[in-house]
Chain A
């Protein structure tokens, strides 16, 4: 019995240390995004739990200038070849806080205008609900990144980047199209909403 416990403990310690070991290729990211990709506001957004394919694509977009950010333009160039996939897989595998998803159709009436945008959109302005593409509670689906628990300052900066065109890479400009319809106060409110989603 005792032996078993020791083994379990040892393997726990072992697995933890494996997890905590940042691959050399990701060390360059950890400064701003955190050792576990948990994010360091306002230096770098959370990467933990984002799909590896999404992270890879973003590195590529920074490298090719389709996403413009002075820091990331040079930092992304420091990750090349196989390292791109290694970095992506490493951060994708990191734990993210659990969020109890709220499902569309749980209720019809959202008195709060921000929640209404998130779960029903505003089709008078042809703005679909955020959760249609970003998944229940913005947990992320396929190529559409998780918004739940992301830093508010980052979500805001990205919505503004989609508006101004300094962030590209969305197919057929779908995100640009939506972002340009959002008002400054909606952008603030949506950023706060997703950042604080529990």
Chain B
């Protein structure tokens, strides 16, 4: 049976009864918005349920909405090779409580994606095995993809080598 919006909706509501999922579609792409406390359990279910089999985690990132109440949205793109179906998961994270459960125990590949998101947005991933900066030097204090970080950076935040001659 090919995967469709209805089937996923039905399966998720069966498994996680009492939780509210919001299903949206834009340009034929299905997106599920959920509460951040469910993310690890839901990802585990989506991966291990035989009919869904979302075995490939393509990407994890975040969006900074700047002035919104829930400032960040963490976005997961997962793909089911078996069903040839792509699904987007979204969970809101507020700045005052800037953390979300890690899914690196579900997909190994999530490790680096979450590190990158931490580096760029400063969102903390709980239970992550190795949460370090991905790109920027460890001494760097800021999170560059936040909207309040200027494009040209903050002068003096990154060092240049000293000229010896």
A binds B: no
State the B residues within 8 Å of A (CB): none
State the A residues within 8 Å of B (CB): none
